[in-house]
Every structure is written in structure tokens, then in C-alpha cells.
Structure 1
Amino acid sequence: MQTVAVLGTGKMGELVLSGLLRSGWPADRLLATARRAERASDLSEKYGVAVVGNAEAADKADILAVAVKPQDAGTLFDEIGGRVGAGKLVVSLCAGLTTGFFAARLPEGTPVVRVMTNTPALVDEAMTAISAGPHATAEHLDIAEQMFKPLGATIRVPESQQDAVTALSGSGPAYFYLLVESMIEAGVLLGLPRRTAHELIVQTAVGSAVMLRDSGDHPVKLREAVTSPAGTTIAAIRELENHGVRAAMLTALEAARDRARQIAGEMK
């Protein structure tokens, strides 16, 4: 069994660490890094893994899962880049950063895989997109999938699509939470107790998502099944269209994609 080091155990790094443990990865084959001693102690106590410095992690691990903030990645690899040999695999979870960013800071031949997952990993319902970078083989992609499958579904995409993935599914949970928040507020406006509105909307969201996933039907078909002629649903949808909700969503996702590209440009 290979040793995995999670470099940067913020929210996403901790998700990866806990997912690996749930998948059966032995705790003695896992390392983590943390900036603060208090955080390191908490992680060690909670998960039973060794929390070490970045240099030690780079020396000992076969796979480096990089989960630091994008703006911290350059500093990290200034510290450890020379310690990462071609026999190690680098898996990046840094939004916006290309595999070329890491390749430029690593010894020639070091394989890099780029990953974008999302916060539903907390309940093992993440969507994770995986892309091969320089020198990454099908075997390296298999390893990355093995790491992230316990967190939910995985898909392989060309790296050129990763900024779009970031906009769509990486940031996607926030869009749904905003929609649910708005619908709950509408329920309160219509006279429902907040708790009742919350229960109604959350279960409706869960049920609708399961239907989308399991039926295989296009969302248009599922929407039309709810939309009776001259009924309540079509009246509401007309107002959504009048207020440009569809166009706003397209513009919002373009903005998220463009920000991912901007981050990459800032970090060259």
C-alpha cells in the first residue's frame, strides 16, 4: 500500500483525509501537514494519522495530495519541489492551477494529476473530475480515482475543461444553497413557518436530484411533467424567465470560469 500525504488540511484536505480512511486506507499509510500546532494535534487525535512538516511528508510519501490554497502553492513547492522525485505522484486539488504550474516546479518526469471535487464529499456524494497532466499515465489516473471514489462519483475530463468543471460542480453546491435559501424565504413570505418551509424545500431538492440522477431523463422532460397548462408551475416559471434567471445563471458560471483562469494567470 502506497503512502499518501495530504499537504494542507483545511476543509478540502480534511475531506480527502477522512475519505481515504473510510475507504480502508490504513492510517499508518497516511500523513498530513498543518500550519498550526493546535490543528496538527486535533487531526492526529481525530484520525490517528501522523501530522508532519511539508519536507518530511514529501520525503516519505509516494503520493502527494496538494490541498493548499492556490496562492500558497508556489511557496509550498519552493520548499519541497526538489524533494519530489519522478517516482512520486502529485495530485492537485488547487482550483485554477494547471498541471503545468506544478510541472515547472518539479523534477522532469514527475507525474501530475489535476482534481476538482466539491463539498458534498462530506456526505460521500461529491462530484470529482480528474485530468491527466504531464507524465501522468492511465495507472496514475486509476490511483486518483481510487482516492476519490469513496467521496462520491468520479469522471475523467481533459484538463482544458477543468475551469468549466470548477465553475459548474466545484462551485455548484453554493448555487443550490442560494436557491434553497431563496425558496425558504419565499415560503416564509407565503405564510409558512421557517422550519416547515425548510423541510419542504430540502426534501423537494433531494427528491428532484435523485430523479435527475436515476431516471436518465432530460431535465426539460422532468420539468414539463410538473408543468400543467395554465397551472401554478408555468406561472412561476414565466416570472423566473421574465427576471432573466436562466441568463443570470449562464453569466454567473462564466464569471466563475473566468475567475479560475485569472487565478491561474496570477500564479504563473
Structure 2
Amino acid sequence: MPPRAGRSAVNHWLEAKCAKAFWSQQETTPYRQLHRDTLAWAAPQAGERWLDLGCGSGALSRGLWEASRGQVAEIVGLDCAAVNAEAYEHLRRVLHPAPGSRLRFLTHDFSNGLEIFPDASFDHAISGLSISYAQSWSEAEQRWTTQAYDRLLREVWRVLKPGGRFVFSVNVPEPKWWRVALASLGDAFRSDKPLRFLRRSWRMLRYGRWLKAEARRGRFHYLPAEAVQSKLKAAGFTAVEYRRSYAGQAYVFRAVKGKEDRNISGDRSVSSA
């Protein structure tokens, strides 16, 4: 464990109160735009098997199900916070057609890799503002490193079938949470439970300060788009694209596992929404 004990070494993502604070995120205008941008590049089709990394309450899993009209073969949501299983139970009750066992939730910390899945297990993978929180501490160097982050990208490549897409979002360096908050001002009035929305929004802002502080220490990874591109290439992905979203405070990436080898084709960016 890191030598600095106390709050700075705590992983709040494991806590139910942290997970639930972010359940209201999907009600905000910036997140809805991010959700649309991510699903537009995901474009789920009938018969596909999807992995949702750092799934939280399952907003993207729900989006995949609805966009495919319930025709995907399976969606597996994976998150380190066990409380999110409650949200997936709710989704199984309300989604139509009813997904039954085709919508699953697994409690797992992806900082430890994805060894629970065999090679080529999924057609595609998706993730929303999550993979930046893969964390690894080096006892030898006495500092946080990107080892878990880099390994996670390699692991996603491994569990995808050839031709599989990885569509995900990550925060920009030094994200300005106030811009997200400003763009969300009217959302409390549109919420069916405005007081709960405001309480959770306040908690999100508090956790946001913690996230930025830990990112500055190297524990979490708010990287420039070019650095993410380089890491995707090193992991074996090809045809990398990205755009800005989430009130300009996140990138949405799309990358492909090549059908034949690990040779990398050109990368490119596209204009933000």
C-alpha cells in the first residue's frame, strides 16, 4: 500500500455512497450528450456480445439494449462497486423486451485485469468515464504508475474478437467540473426527484475534487488525447478516432482490434459535437 495513509489512499469507487452519487449523472445534459455520442459510435447490432467496463448503474448497458431493440446476444456490466448490482436488477425488470440472463452484472476491479474472461469473449466493449481509474502502486518506485491502465487496454484488446470495437470516454486533463455543473443547472428542475438530484450532484462535485487531486498525483489518468492514442496503439488497436463531448470535458474514443494482426493504421480525430 502507498505510504500515505488515510483519505488520500482510499478508493471511494468501492463505496456504495460514491457509486450512488453518480447514479444521477445520467440525468444531466452534458452526460446525455456524452451518452448519445458514445452509443452513436457503438452502433450495437443483433447477436453481438458486449462488455460494459466500469458500468456503474448501467446507463450504457441500457442504451445498448434499447438501441439494438433487445436483439444483442448479451451485455455484461462490470464494476468494482457491488451496489451497482441493484441497478442492474432494476434494469432487468423495466427493460423491454425483458433481457433476463442476457443482461449480467459482475463485481470486479478492472485494475486487476480481466483474467476472468477468456480470449475473444466479446464482439465489442464500451465504457463511460471509467478506465482512467485503473490504479497501480509501485512498491519499488514508491509512486503511482500507469501499469494497470496500460494492462487494461491490452486486456480489452485480448478479450475482443478480431474486428471488435472499443468505444469509451475519458476525462480531459484537468477537467473543469464547473463547466459540467453550469451546463446542468436546469436539470434539477426537470428531475422527478429534484432534492435527491441536488444532493447527489453536490456529492459528485466533492468526489470530483478528490479525483482531480489523485490524478495530479498520478493515481488516476486524465491524459491528453494523443497520449491515449499512443497507449491504444501500443495495446494493438487500430483505426483510432476521438471527439470531444461532456461540455468539452471528455473525449469519446473508438478503436478497433484488427482482424489479422497488430499493425496499426492511421489515427485521426473528428470535430466535437
TM-score range relative to shorter protein = 0.3 to 0.5
TM-score between both structures, scaled by the size of structure 2: 0.33
Q: Which has the higher helix share?
A: 1
Answer 1 or 2: higher relative contact order, Cα 8 Å, separation at least 6.
Answer: 2
Structure exhibiting the larger radius of gyration computed from Cα positions = 1
TM-score between both structures, scaled by the size of structure 1: 0.33
